[in-house]
Structures are given as C-alpha cells and as structure tokens.
Amino acid sequence: MLAITNAKIHTMVGPVIEKGTIVIEDGKITAVGADVKVPDGAQVVDAKGRHVSPGIIEAHGHAGVYEAGNGWAGADGNEATHPITPQVRAIDGANPEDTSFADFRKHGVTAMHIMPGSANLIGGECFVVKHKEAATIDEMILLWPSGMKAALGENPKRVYGTQKKAPATRMGNAAMMREWLQKAKDYAAKKKKAAEDEDAKEPNFDMKLEALVPVINGEMPMHIHCHRQDDIATAIRIAGEFGVKYTLEHATLGHKVVDLLKENDVSCAVGPSMYFEGKVEVVGIGFDGPATLHEHGVHFCLTNDHPVIHARYLRVAAGQLEAEGVPGEDALKSITIWAAEHIGVADRIGSIEQGKDADLVIWSGEPLDARSRADVTMIDGKVVFERE
Amino acid sequence: MLAIVNGKMMPVSGDPIEGGAILIRDGKIAAVGKDLKIPSEARIIDADGRPVTPGIIEAHAHIGLGEAGIGWAGADVNESSDPVTAYARAIDGLNPLDTAFDEFRAAGITCASVVPGSGNVIGGTGLAIKCQGTIVDDMVVKNPTGMKAALGENPKGSYGRRKKLPSTRMGSAAVMRETLFKAREYLKKKDKAEGEDDVSKLPKHDKNLEALLPVLRGEIPLHIHCHRADDITTAVRLCREFEVPFVLEHVTEANHVIDLLKGADTHLAIGPTMHYGSKVENRERDFRTPVEVARAGIPFCLITDHPVLHGKYLTMSAGLAVTWGMDYDLALRSVTLSAAEHVGIADRVGSLEVGKDADIVIWSGDPLDYITFANYTIIDGEVAYQREVE
Amino acid sequence: MKNISTKVFKGATIYPVYGPKIEDGVMIVEGGKIKAIGSAKDVEIPAVEVIDVSGKVILPGFVDAHSHVGVWGDGEGSAAYDGNEMGNPIAAKVSALDAANPEQVSFAGAREGGITSLQIIPGSGNPVGGLAFACKTAGTIIDDMVIKNPTGLKGALGENPKRAYGQFFKKAPMTRMGTAGVIRDYFHQVKEYMAKKEAAEARAKEAEAKAEDAEANGNGVAPGPDYNPDLEAGALVMKGEIPFRVHAHRYDDIITAVRICEEFGIPFSIEHCTTGFKVAQFLGERGAVAHVGPGLFSRGKQELADADERNPALLDAAGVKVCLITDHPFLDSSYLLPYAGVAHKHGMPLDRVLRALTLNPAESLGIEDRVGSLTPGKDADFVVMSGEPFTYTSVILSTHIEGNVVYKRPTL
C-alpha cells in the first residue's frame, strides 16, 4: 500500500485538489482527495507540494513497430505490399526493446495506442500498451485488439500510385475501401447464415475478410487517418454507409468542418500539430485547429503520432494548445482522459479516480510547462522511473 | 563385427568409463563397458586410452543444399519464389557428394539435420541423415523431422525488397497465421470427408496445406528460425494459438525471454555463436546466450547453421562455451544427445548405449578442444573416416 | 593514450617473439613502453606495483593485418556498411580512415580477441579499392589511434569485382581478364601521371634557375597534370612507399597478382592467398608476403573450393612471410586465437604461428618499430592468457595497449 501526500492533484474529473493524498493498493487508486487519511502501514511518498497528474497517453503512435535507432531492421509498421491488409497485427511487429519505451517512462508517458502506419487503406489491427518494462510485448497489453487502422488522403495513393498500382487517386482510395468493406459485409452475412442454417454453405475462408468481420459487426472501431476536410468527409461518408464504429485520426483540417464533426458525434485524435507543412494535405496544420474543436465541443484529444514527433513532447503540444486559449486543465485532459476515451481504455486509465489504475506522474513543476520534468513515473502502482 | 577397446568411453548418457570397450554388431552398439568379452572374429580398433564419444550431431545445417565451392549451381537452400513453400522438401535438393561431407566426417560429425533456409515464412520440410552415402534415401535417419519456418529480418527482407508480402514482421506473422488457419480448415474438411466416406466432400488438393497436415496433427514440429526476443515471442504466441508443436532455431536473444521459454515446453538450437553481427537482429550473438539458457535449465543444443559457420567447428563452439562457464558434460551433450533430442532422433543416436546406432568417434584428445583431431569416425558400425598420421 | 605509470608483470611465461620463450619472466612497463624484459634472475625489479601473473602466459598484442573493423558495422545493418565505394572500378582515392568508427562494437571485439593493432582496409568490390591504414584498437578519435597512414593500396582479383561490376552494374570488368586489364590500365595512367609531374617539376626547377628568363617568358613554364587523387594514391605504390595489397583466393589469381606487380615493379602483398599452398614454392622464392585468412570459414564461393586448413603451414614452410588475418567480419575478430590454434593443429609450428600473429604483420605494415614483439623500447601492447597456447582452455584474460588495460575477460 502506498500513499502520495502533499500533492497538487490534477484528477481530470473535477477541480484541481490543491493539497491532497492519493492512496494506492494492488496497483489501483483506492482513494483520492484533500481529506483522505493515510492508512496504517502505507508507504508514504511525500510529493512536497508538487503537481501530480495521470500518466500521459499517446492516442496514436507507432513505437515498437518503428523503432528508434534501428533503421530498416526495426521498421515493421507498414505492410505496404497491398493496400488492404486487415489481417496483419501491430502486436506481431512491436518490439518491447524499442528504446523509446524507456524514454517514455522518463518523461511520464505511460500508455500508447500502437497502430500500423498509413501507407495502406486498411493497415491492420491496433492494440494499446502500458509502458512497463517487460521482456514480451504481451505483458504490456492494456487492450488487444483495440481497432482497425485505415487511411485516406495522400499516403495510400502515393505509395501505390507511384508504383502504377491502385489506388492512385482519392477516388481510388474510397472505391477500394468501399469494395472491401462490402466484401466483408457479404462474408459476414454468409457466415451468419451458415451458423444459423445447417444447409447453408460456409464462405471460403478469407483471412482479410475474416479480420474485417468484427469491424462490420460493430465490435471493433476503424481508426481512420485523414488530414484534409474532404478526406474527413469521405471517411464519415463511407463509415456511415456501412454503419461501422470509427474515430478520426489527425483530422488536421477538422476545424473547417466542425458542424459535420458535431453532427456525427465523431472523436478525433488531432496532431502531430508541431509538425511542418510537409505535404499539401497538412497545409494549415497547427494548434488553432484543435482549439477550434474544443471551442465547439467536438470530442478530441492530442497526438504526436510518435515517432513523427516523439511522444515525450505531448506536454509541449498541450502547452501550445493552452496558448491558443484552451484552459489549462482541458489541455491536460487532451493528453490524458480524452485520449483514454478516444482509444477505449477510459475505464482503466486517464484520470485519478478511485478504482482506476495507479498510472501517475509526479512533476517537478507545472505539467504543461515545457521546463518541467517527470520526477516519478508510476504504472500500476509501481515506480517505473525516478529522477535522481 | 567391430570392437573398440582401451578407450576412455564418454557415453553422454552416463559416467565415463576408463579403459572401456564397445562391441558393434550389424551397425548397432551391442555392448558398452569395462572388461567386455570380445569375440575372436571381431576387427579390433585400439583406442590407445583416448576419448571415445558418440558421433557429433549438427542439428541445423544446410549441407548438401548449399554446397561447398560451386556457387549458384549448388545453391538450393531457399525456394524463394513464394513466402510459403511448405511443399518443398530438403531431401529433394540434398547432394550427398557435397565435399563438405568429407570435412564433416573428418570432424567427427556423423549425423546432420538438414533444413531449408530462412528466406521464406514457411520453407519446407527438413530431414536427418547420416553423413555418409551416395543416395540420400539410404542415408535417412528420419524424414521429415520438421517444417522449417522463419520470422525476423530474412523473410521481410527477401520479399519486402520485391515489394511482396511480407515486408514487415506484422506481415510475416499474418502469413504464418493465415497458412496455419487454412491448413487447420483443410484438415477439418479432410477428416469430415473421410469420416463420412464421401469423396465429393474432399477439399481441392493444395500442395502447401497438404504438407502442413503432419504439423497440425502434432506429428512433426515447426522449426522456427528467430533471433530477436520479440520474434521468439511471436513464434511462441503463434504456436500456442494453433496448438502445434515447435522448436526454436538460433534464438540469439533467448536470454532476454528466459521466463517465457521456461514455460513454453520447447527445445532450443542456439547458434551460430562464432559469427559476426551480420544483421541488427543477431548483434548479440555471443556465449552469453547459451550460458544463461543452460543456467536456467532450458533444454538446448548448439548449432553452426553450416555453412554460415562451417559445421566442423561445432565442437570448437562447445569447447569455447565451457570456457565461458558452461558445464563440460552439458556442453558435450549439447552437440550429441541434446542435438538428437532437438531433432527427434534420440532413440537412434546421440549416446553410447546398447541398441543405438554405432555412430562413434575416437579422438586424439579432449573432444571439445579445437586442437584435437578425430582419429576415427564410425557411422553405422563402419569406419567412415580414418585420420592419416604423417 | 599511453599510461605513464610503471608496472612490473612477474611470474608469467613470456613469448617475446623477438627471441626464445622466457620462463618465470619479468616485464617492466613504463610510460606506455616496454622498459625491460627477461627472466626473473636477469631483470632487477624496481620498487613499484608488481602484478603477479604466475601461471599465466604473456604474448605481444596481435597485429591483424587485414580487417574491416569499424568500417563494416557489426550488428548495425546496412546503415553502417562503409567498406566498398562502388560505382567506379578505380576507387584509389578513398581511404578507410575516413570511415572507421572507433565506437563501433567491432573494435571491442578486436580487443577481446587480443588484437592491439590492425590494418583497416577497404573491401574487395573494386579492382582498386582505396587506401588502408594501421591503428591501435582503442581510442575515441581515429586520428589519435593511427600508427601509420597509409599502409597500403587495396586491389582485388577473382570473383568479387567481376560479380559487382559485370553482374550488378553491367559494365567492365566482367571477367578475370577484364579485372587485370583495369588494374594494368590504372598503373599505366599512374606512371604517365608521375612522368608528367616530374617533367613539370624539372621544368619549374630549370625556370627557377633562370629566374629572369621565366618572367620575360610571360606565362613561363608549362603546367604539370591536374591533381588526380586516384593517381596520387597509385604514385605512392609506384615509388615503393606502400604495397599494392591484392585480394586473391584462387591460386591462378594469386599468380596474376604477382605477374601484374612484377610488370610494374611495385611492392605487394597477397590478401587471403587461400589456395596459395598450390604455388607455395613460387611465392616463397619471391619472398612474398601473404595475409592469410579468414580462418574458420566455409567454401561459399567457387574460388574457395580447394581451401585447406594446412595452407598457412605450407606457405610458411616454403618461405612465404605469413600473417594470420581475420578479415573481420568474415572471421569475427574475437576468434583470431582459435584460428591460430587451427593453423598450428594443421602443421604450423608454435613459434611460427606466434610470429604470424605479431611480428610478421607488423613488418608487413611497416610498424615494427612500434609493435609486433616485446622488445624494450616498443609499445607495451600485450595479451595475458590463462595458459599455454594452443588449447581451448587457454583463453585471453586481458588485453593491454601502451600500458592500459583495454579488455578484461568478464565472468558470465
């Protein structure tokens, strides 16, 4: 049992507790508040007035499948040999020894949604990990599977179009995505019929379609990469046609179609906003975009798309969001609880509340101050990093 | 009938016997011990007090498939036309007259497990042979011994370069998963058709899926090439998913995942340790891996992956492992009985026991010392190599 | 790099290589050099730190005369492959010095293998591959580690250059004839270049002597040839300052190498010399230098088909100056000692093997004033072994460069 005392607690579910205590037992938060008593026998960690927040969450990253410092040998994030690869799984390519994970612990980033890249229209299955030190990736799993990566816009059409293969245009992107979702829908229907009717024939096994069945059945969301507002509209259009659950990833120009996002109650993971205008579809990238979403009440969180921008700089991104007028606590929510909600793990992490996992950080200063550092990072109630 | 007398017998399956003898009849070991009665008709080889061990066994080699000294014409290791070539069989590509066999016999290697390469996700079946003969079918100890598979950099490099699936680790795992799934469905259909005695229900013949049936039925293991810890993890995950037997090859980073391997009910073939870090995934190839695996009590053998390291340096590898802390007896076992266990032929070879094949080596000194020569190499009771002393 | 302190190593069996084995030896190291060496009764021990090495064996640090340590990244994949500057069959101007990374893990492997100096040399993809240099195996800035630069110009015959150019680039050379032709053409150009330079220098001297005339002549002296770095490298060979070090495995390629070098009157060494035993007498008569290795390899190419572990012994017996090399990474540097053991096993006498690991390569590289034997005045580069060579239980316990411990064997 552990108690963190004298902490300025950013719970993410209420006002900041100026001076409070957090009690942790068996990896869970059992109590948090200004008047919480330290139980007998608890090991006490005196925060000495420092800020404590939930661990930072990267809602859209590629750590482990695009490893730091390993070049081609560590590049396993895009199975760019066919535009539709729903059957591949990020978990089969994620290396827990990617040195980025140690970096994350040092900087208070405690969880990531690991996804295939955006070379393919349908890129493969995603999963969520905690940044624990572990010999196998399986020991780091928080949620598996979490969703199916998809992408529209320039990337798929560039990867395949430059090889003179389909898709070569945005029309091609949409048509192929639609074609495969339809095939998956038919396949799922055949399977359902075969299960119900003894005489009905099972469809021929198709691994790609098999992997899409949970998406078609609404059990698993699609995470659709799109930057420009027209690609956002296409994503919403296709998802609506098939009635699938989905989130939007990047949504860089989402602020241009705020009403559309609101109408469809879409959740967006916005970023990497610290990036430059390297492609046409990201012209206009910046923090005014998510600030606008915030203003209009659209569900969103921030992402650095690690490693495009290293996930350790998520606090810097949130600080920039605050600079655009978003209140500090909300900016912090955009890299904690709203990220957890976006990826479907808010029951476990993202806020400091009784019953949730003790994934916490004690900061040397204000969490959104770029000059602050993580002094203590904790996952499941265990200290995984401590600054000397 | 052959008798080896006056040798320091090192049976591997038991304690050494000073001044011991072995009696060989019809290619099998008929007796081992001290004070054996030697029949008068036996040809006698006097071991002159020198060490006598079971024949050395190389559990992972491409000898005969990747032949010495003839370049492309003798290169038959990888059927690199498709990532899944389960139908390919090492026996069909093995040349028993590969001159490397001369070197194997001269180094005391009596038996080798020959497997296809690691360019494919599923590469084909391997077999175990004796290292002497002209017609490979006459040399077979066991065929097939297993189905070769591979994860890591090789398959994704080989196919990714040509922009074909797989180009990533995710892709390799997906290919393996898909193939095993299809093989399982194929088996179900076949069993159903046979059960109902209805030929019309048989699935259309598929050469890859057919070749995988013995794996799905649990009759032969997958031999999975993997170096890096995450590839080892993926191999274990996939095999558990499909409940198929498996052994792991190379496992350069096995010491990173000791707990996983302890609980995995598998066997490891470690090596080639005396190699440079030719890729990122094998940068940690040194004796730390086998020493730590040995300490953890996980069953393993040592391999050279001939010709990556020449097979004749297998005993040198075992000797160097001893200098780094491995127990001597375990090191000798790792190139004899443990190798036989890895390949599934321990009923025939790997130790000096009555009833086993008479594969025996008489050495000039400590068998694990690289300065030692093999004086006699005996295979199936016949002298396959005898050293000429100038 | 050198360690200034004075240390005494007492009690070991010492193989100094310059002379016979010393039992119960004493070696005094001071200021990074060997100060004195001899048996315990002959050497006075000063009042300084005495290191008891009873039961151990001390050898000079090994000199690996042909290595790609630091330029062919160990465990780093293609991002660290810097050994062959491909594209033009003549790459004489490039130097391995510009690519050697002292932090590359292969340097640590070399120290583990008892190697204290090595020649780092370009690969064999090109008929003329670039300049080689000799350095110590420990340090941070490569220039501080250099012993001599350059120590040779790399050449190559056989399968590698013709495969790289004929098959891959689809241009000359495509055959062994073509490869020899390219090399010959190169040296002809070098000769021409040197002649033109000399003529220009002679003219300039003349003009200087008649200084007034030069001014009166306006433009004056006809200029020499434009500076050509590829030919400058060859000029060093032509002048006899550095040898042409020719990669050749098959015995006929070895003969071709000798033919070309004798044609141009240039000094040479044969790299690998894998089936040189077939023409051992021919090579011995010429006092040829052979950098023999890598050891412990498989016959992966046709030109290696007749390789034989007796090669170093047979060459040595015929009077060839044999240097045992690793050609790292093709034999990992940490396994030089077992390779030497195998050479001894197959007929090379112990003292000849030790010389082939130390003084012969030092002489081949022109660095014998500094390294290669435990002669007083030379660098204190040495290896401490746990027992007598050669047996697997005699392992390298520590490696020392200029009095510093640069490797200590860990317990796993």
CA distance B325 to chain A (A): 24
**Strand residues in A14-140 grouped as ranges (E):** 17-25, 28-33, 43-46, 51-54, 56-61, 109-114, 122-130
Output the pTM of the full model: 0.87
| Closest residue in chain B to residue A138, using alpha carbons only | B233
pLDDT at A204: 87
CB neighbours of residue B85 within 10 Å: 22
Would you call A87 an interface residue with chain B, using a CB distance cutoff of 8 Å?
yes
CB atoms B185 and A74 under 8 Å: no
Where do we find the tokens 């000898």?
Answer: B63
Within chain B, residue ranges assigned H as helices are 100-106, 136-139, 153-160, 169-195, 207-216, 229-242, 258-262, 288-295, 314-323, 328-334, 337-343
- Region B334-357: mean pLDDT is 98
Please, what is the angle between helix A170-196 and helix A229-242, to 10°?
20
CB atoms B163 and A163 under 8 Å: yes
Global ipTM: 0.90
DSSP string, C21-61: -EEEEEEEEETTEEEEEEETTTSPPPSSEEEE-TT-EEEEP
Which amino acid is located at C228 in the chain? N
pLDDT at C183: 96
Question: Would residue B350 be called left, alpha or beta, if left means φ above 0 and alpha means ψ between -120 and 50 degrees?
Answer: left
What span, in angstroms and rounded, lies between the C-alpha atoms of A157 and A189? 30
**Strand residues in chain B grouped as ranges (E):** 2-9, 17-25, 28-33, 43-46, 51-54, 56-61, 109-114, 122-130, 140-150, 222-226, 246-250, 268-270, 300-302, 360-363, 374-379, 382-386
CB atoms B260 and A136 under 8 Å: yes
| C213 pLDDT higher than 70 | no
| C2 pLDDT higher than 90 | no
Which amino acid is located at A140 in the chain? M
Q: Under DSSP, is residue C268 helix (H, G, I), strand (E, B) or coil? A: strand
Give me the total of CB pairs closer than 8 Å, taking one residue from chain A and one from chain B.
Answer: 102
Contacts of A77 in chain B (CB under 8 A): 168, 170
Contacts of C307 in chain B (CB under 8 A): 69
Would you call C389 an interface residue with chain B, using a CB distance cutoff of 8 Å?
no
**Consecutive H or E run containing C97:** none
Which amino acid is located at B27 in the chain? G
Q: How confident is the model at residue A240 (pLDDT cuts 50, 70, 90)?
A: very high
| Closest residue in chain B to residue A64, using alpha carbons only | B230
| A210 pLDDT higher than 60 | yes
pLDDT at C281: 96
Of residues A75, A79, A135, nearest to B257 (C-beta): A135
CB neighbours of residue B49 within 10 Å: 10
Question: Which phi and psi angles does B61 have, rounded to 5°?
Answer: -140, 160
Q: Is A340 exposed, middle or buried (0-12, 13-18, 19+ CB in 10 A)?
A: buried
Percentage of residues of chain A with pLDDT beyond 90: 95
Would you call C77 an interface residue with chain A, using a CB distance cutoff of 8 Å?
yes
What span, in angstroms and rounded, lies between the C-alpha atoms of C94 and C32? 32
Which amino acid is located at A305 in the chain? D
Answer for the pair B332, B10: CB distance below 8 angstroms, yes or no: yes
| B62 pLDDT higher than 70 | yes
CA distance C71 to chain A (A): 17
Q: How confident is the model at residue A24 (pLDDT cuts 50, 70, 90)?
A: very high
Contacts of A70 in chain C (CB under 8 A): 77
Q: Cα B367 from chain centroid?
A: 19
Of residues C298, C344, C395, nearest to B323 (C-beta): C395
| C223 pLDDT higher than 90 | no
pLDDT at A28: 98
Contacts of B282 in chain C (CB under 8 A): 75
pLDDT at B337: 98
What span, in angstroms and rounded, lies between the C-alpha atoms of B62 and A352? 58
Neighbours of chain B (3+ CB pairs under 8 A): A, C
- Region C159-188: mean pLDDT is 93
Answer for the pair C310, C342: CB distance below 8 angstroms, yes or no: no
| B215 pLDDT higher than 70 | yes
Of residues C296, C390, C412, nearest to B287 (C-beta): C412
| B208 pLDDT higher than 90 | yes
What span, in angstroms and rounded, lies between the C-alpha atoms of C243 and C264? 12
CB atoms A65 and B260 under 8 Å: no
CB neighbours of residue C146 within 10 Å: 18
In angstroms and rounded to an integer, the radius of gyration of the C-alpha atoms of chain A is 21
The mean of the pLDDT values for chain C is 94
Count of CA atoms in the C-beta half-sphere (13 A) of A232: 26
What span, in angstroms and rounded, lies between the C-alpha atoms of B2 and B23? 6
Contacts of A95 in chain B (CB under 8 A): 228-230
Of residues B165, B168, B169, nearest to A82 (C-beta): B165
Contacts of A207 in chain B (CB under 8 A): 174, 177-178, 181-182
CA distance A83 to chain B (A): 11
CA distance A70 to chain C (A): 8
pLDDT at C215: 54
What span, in angstroms and rounded, lies between the C-alpha atoms of A78 and A90? 9
Please, what is the angle between helix A170-196 and helix A154-161, to 10°?
100
- Region C109-137: mean pLDDT is 97
CA distance C199 to chain A (A): 52
CB atoms C105 and B306 under 8 Å: no
| Closest residue in chain B to residue A124, using alpha carbons only | B170
CA distance B172 to chain A (A): 8
What span, in angstroms and rounded, lies between the C-alpha atoms of A181 and A234? 14
Q: How confident is the model at residue C73 (pLDDT cuts 50, 70, 90)?
A: confident
CB atoms B100 and C344 under 8 Å: no
Would you call B336 an interface residue with chain A, using a CB distance cutoff of 8 Å?
no
Of residues A74, A79, A136, nearest to B280 (C-beta): A74
Q: Which residues of C215-235 are buried (b: 16+ CB within 10 A; e: fewer)?
A: eeeeeebeebeeebebbebbb
DSSP string, C287-307: T-EEEE---S----SGGGTT-
DSSP string, A155-220: HHHHHHHTTT-S--SHHHHHHHHHHHHHHHHHHHHHHHHHHH-TTSPPPPP-HHHHHHHHHHTTSS
| Closest residue in chain A to residue B169, using alpha carbons only | A93
Would you call C103 an interface residue with chain A, using a CB distance cutoff of 8 Å?
no
Of residues A73, A87, A116, nearest to B280 (C-beta): A73
pLDDT per residue over C245-304, tens digit each?
Answer: 999 999 999 999 999 999 999 999 999 999 999 999 999 999 999 999 999 989 989 999
pLDDT per residue over A324-336, tens digit each?
Answer: 999 999 999 999 9
CB atoms A73 and B233 under 8 Å: no
> Can you state the percent helix, strand and coil of chain C, rounding each to 5?
35, 25, 40
Residue from A112, A181, A184 nearest A141 by CA: A112
CB atoms B276 and C328 under 8 Å: yes
pLDDT per residue over B98-137, tens digit each?
Answer: 999 999 999 999 999 999 999 999 999 999 999 999 999 9
The mean of the pLDDT values for chain B is 95
| Closest residue in chain A to residue C79, using alpha carbons only | A71
Cα first-last separation, chain C? 29
Would you call A116 an interface residue with chain B, using a CB distance cutoff of 8 Å?
yes
Q: How confident is the model at residue A272 (pLDDT cuts 50, 70, 90)?
A: very high
- Both tokens assigned to C395: 């392992």
Would you call C412 an interface residue with chain B, using a CB distance cutoff of 8 Å?
yes
Q: Which of C74, C76, C105 to mutate to test the interface with A (most CBs of A within 10 A)?
A: C76
Within C163-287, residue ranges assigned H as helices are 176-209, 211-216, 229-238, 251-264, 280-285
- Region C228-239: mean pLDDT is 96
